[in-house]
Structure 1
């Protein structure tokens, strides 16, 4: 399991670590930092487009072969990214790196879920969640530290020895399991790829600027994905079997659960911006508060299984969902002169709540999924997770823009009022997950918490 957790951490970290390195990279390539955003986008797009096919590849060619191949591609692409001499070359290599990441993490998760007894899934999946919480928080400061002291190319070079060790470990530890053979759904793949591509591009564009182009791409992506779902339901050999959506626990985890993840996942995006751009803090000062958030994340990891076994998924998702919303709302009340101890305490509580909510949703998703259907459910869940992450950043950014005009109407004034308004918006968004949790049957997730 530690191998898959490490692979997941590498994949998510590489999506965020470049943020603070872009100015230095721009000087190397003779372009602007904004123009180099395409390097981050290319990586995330490759992930989103190819993740849906990962389960089919694992079933067809074997989980060990695909996992090892993915690590090899990711590692080689990392080394070549460090050698890139132009923007087009760098972007192409980031796409290659994203191809490796798209196969690496979903296949690793699938192996773990297929070989873990159901009554141990809570502990196992909770351990797999921490990179999703940790990597977005530490990525930017780690990238900034490496860039300042060693140069931006070392961000990629550090992946090489880690990748080699992971590859050797995978050859030894990962079982070579194959699923039932089935034809590849080229039509489903093309429809999914176009839909995901358009939606992710539109969401990313809208996070920077709200205009007709961004809204048009989002609408086109959603329309294409609607067509895709109709095709997947009719196809005798769909790229992804949508049967898992008929299971109440899985459906709740990917519908209302996506709203919770969008809101909670926006915190690492909003918090550093509010403290630096809104309050005028330095990077180190803001980084210390991020440590408080992560401390809450880590502290909760030791308690998740006991809490879920004691109270059950429905009660935890409902009550903790309200706590998540309240903790997000509390962050709208802080300002540049708020006592540091109070701010750290609020962030610690937010870390506790978001860690418990993430873990509860991720374990609930697979509580009632049959092992034979785990591959398709895993591919579907990871695709929605990827789109939800992009949607969360977009919703947060749009809320900041809206805060310019509306912050005063809700009594927010002074420094960082637009960012504080965004935290209110995220609190309201997170309540959508609570409404979904209330509709769950009381026995939801019980297969994981009994025995």
Structure 2
């Protein structure tokens, strides 16, 4: 069996999860009408899913070590599929939110454990290519989800949004059972129960708070309270983790330069880039009066650019090196994000498509480099902790990106008699998130020139310094 077949299995499962998390947004009005609920109240279904992710992602690494990566990955698909099927049978707001929480529990395990399966199945020298294809679901889901959700809700019934996951889930269960090895650690420390509760409180408070900023779901005092509780919970967790031999999220991993740069630089980059799937459809529909289908056909160019990059990512990174790619490509990608601020209703569709297509190419290259270098100097027994940690940061950064975009739009329309969102509200949002994405280059500049050499097959050119980096010596603070 080809090694990359395992990557394909994991990628399909992750695509199901990422698309599902965005496909529901377009269908909320139809779901609300059918259930007899207020569409604003139904947005709790979105936030409850994110809340579940924030709580259960940290424990995924320990679960994989304790019960085996294949066992947990397969169970995650089962839970996600059952939760998805149950959502299609929901009869009211309460059970719909409950089933979304169940879905989130499955999704929380699928993402980091799926990445762990790849890391333990693919040799490090081939990891760049494998992770390049694994970033496709994360880029395509937010692009395909909204127009597909609108199409299904219009032509069929909103319940099919969830039921289409059933055959995909069944196929994933079979393929995982047949082709994925059940990697597990022989000696697993007891579960960090205190850390689980502290991280759950802290991360859910921050993720939930970031998600509802700028939305008329809750009063601003409640949102501020969520963020404060989240910050306190995370602070208490940091104190706990630094005193515990085997914490749930091991902060000591940040002593490794490559992992530190991937986490912090990736956080800043994803805030900027993560806001664009939220801003672009609104810009095109509310600002330019496009239909959801017209908007979806334009934003789909980003995914096309991402796919086009996959065959060239590994050769580019191996030839140029991680550090130069991460620094300069962050600036290039940020420039394309900022270019969206120049779009007007008179901008030809061909120009918009070209900007999004090329921008998607460079964006995907950056994601591949960030995701790959995170594990360049991670020891085998620390892989599960690293995947959990990285997944938590990714989730928070995407929520923070949407919150940043929403806050700018809210600020722009403050003081106006009409609360209608105008096309002129969007350029400042694009420029701000582009600046945040560009700032990640300052983090990547601190990397040594040999960073990631164990992944890029340039070991013969880096000498003893490269060997030290692979052994985890270079890059520790």
TM-score normalised according to structure 1 size: 0.95
2:114 pairs with 1:108: yes
**Which sits farther off after the overlay, 46-55 or 221-230?**
221-230
Q: In structure 2, the residue corresponding to 1:18 is in which secondary structure?
A: helix
Report the counterpart of residue 152 of structure 2 in structure 1.
146
Report the counterpart of residue 182 of structure 2 in structure 1.
176
**Equivalent pair of 1:63/1:177 in contact (CA under 8 Å):** yes
**Separation of aligned partners in 2, 1:207 and 1:303:** 39
Length, aligned pairs only: 445
Report the counterpart of residue 187 of structure 1 in structure 2.
194
Unaligned runs of 5+ residues in structure 2 are 1-6, 416-420, 459-477
**Separation of aligned partners in 1, 2:409 and 2:20:** 25
Specify which of 426, 436, 439 is matched with residue 419 of structure 1. 426
Specify which of 337, 349, 374 is matched with residue 365 of structure 1. 374
RMSD: 1.7
Report the counterpart of residue 93 of structure 2 in structure 1.
87
Give matches, 1:126-137, under 5 Å: 126-137=132-143
Q: In structure 2, the residue corresponding to 1:88 is in which secondary structure?
A: helix
Report the counterpart of residue 346 of structure 2 in structure 1.
337
**Equivalent pair of 1:335/1:415 in contact (CA under 8 Å):** no
Q: Deviations over 1:33-86 (max 9, x none)?
A: 111111111111111110100111111112222122111111112111111111
Give matches, 1:6-405, under 5 Å: 6-179=12-185, 180-208=187-215, 211-404=220-413
**Separation of aligned partners in 2, 1:78 and 1:322:** 39
Report the counterpart of residue 432 of structure 1 in structure 2.
439
**Separation of aligned partners in 2, 1:295 and 1:177:** 34
Q: In structure 1, the residue corresponding to 2:443 is in which secondary structure?
A: helix
**Structure 1 segments (4+ residues) deviating >6 Å:** none
**Equivalent pair of 2:214/2:410 in contact (CA under 8 Å):** no
**Equivalent pair of 1:257/1:436 in contact (CA under 8 Å):** no
Unaligned runs of 5+ residues in structure 1 are 407-413
**Separation of aligned partners in 2, 1:67 and 1:329:** 38
Q: Deviations over 1:327-364 (max 9, x none)?
A: 12211111001122222111112111211111111111
CA distance change for structure 1 residues 9 and 343 in 2, over 3 Å: closer, same or farther? same
**Separation of aligned partners in 2, 1:297 and 1:69:** 30
**Separation of aligned partners in 2, 1:331 and 1:237:** 45
Report the counterpart of residue 466 of structure 2 in structure 1.
none
Task: Give the CA deviation at 1:415.
Answer: 5.3
Task: Give the CA deviation at 1:405.
Answer: 6.4
**Which sits farther off after the overlay, 100-109 or 19-28?**
100-109
Q: Deviations over 1:268-323 (max 9, x none)?
A: 11101001111112222222211222221111112111110111111011111111
Q: In structure 2, the residue corresponding to 1:255 is in which secondary structure?
A: helix
**Separation of aligned partners in 2, 1:104 and 1:331:** 33
Q: In structure 2, the residue corresponding to 1:208 is in which secondary structure?
A: coil
